[in-house]
């Protein structure tokens, strides 16, 4: 079992695709272990995407990711990180395979509907960046019986 972080991006939340995106994740065997809507500040978006800070798209990306509410989820499943990445498809929705989430719901490379951790190291950074210890432990506390 592995956990990964997904963020339904401002464009997909605004266009009311969040429910459909989460439904497709669940239909593919992923279990929602934590979930919330939030709005990142510009500073938080910069820190979250710090790995891209030298890329030419960094300023636009962090502006965009802090432009409106997002919905973040921790998903769990067998091989969850690779599984979610393959459900997402390529970064650019125009290059993503038909049926993938970005092909269905993304608009362009930046407004590509959804983010997901790309490695166990990223998930280890991203999950506690977005969710508190209390939020992460709620699932086990509330639903273990």
Distance of CA 35 to the CA centre of its chain: 11
| Closer of 110 and 138 to ligand CMP (Cβ) | 110
Residue 115 designated active-site: yes
CB of 1 to ligand CMP, least distance (A): 22
CB of 110 to ligand CMP, least distance (A): 4
CB of 51 to ligand CMP, least distance (A): 8
Binding site for ligand CMP (CB under 6 A): 52, 57, 61, 91, 109-110, 112, 115
Q: Which of the residues 115, 117, 126, 130 is marked catalytic?
A: 115
Q: Which residue has the tokens 């939340």?
A: 13
Give the Cα separation of 103 and 106 in Å (integer).
6
Extended beta strands in the chain, E state: 2-8, 31-38, 70-77, 114-116
Pair of tokens at residue 118: 């790309």
Active site residues: 115
């Amino acid at each position: 079992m592995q956990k990964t972080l997904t963020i339904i991006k401002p464009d997909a939340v605004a266009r009311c695709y969040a429910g459909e995106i989460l439904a497709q994740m669940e239909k593919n065997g992923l279990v929602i272990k934590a979930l919330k809507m939030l709005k990142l500040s510009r500073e938080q978006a910069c820190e979250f995407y710090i790995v891209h800070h030298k890329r030419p798209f960094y300023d636009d990306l962090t502006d965009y990711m802090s432009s409106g509410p997002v919905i973040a989820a921790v998903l769990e499943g067998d091989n969850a990180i690779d599984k979610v990445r393959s459900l997402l498809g390529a970064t650019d929705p125009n290059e993503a395979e038909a049926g993938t989430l970005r092909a269905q719901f993304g608009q362009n490379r930046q407004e590509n509907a959804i983010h997901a951790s790309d490695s166990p190291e990223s998930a280890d950074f991203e999950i506690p960046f977005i969710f508190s210890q209390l939020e992460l432990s709620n699932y086990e506390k509330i639903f273990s019986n």
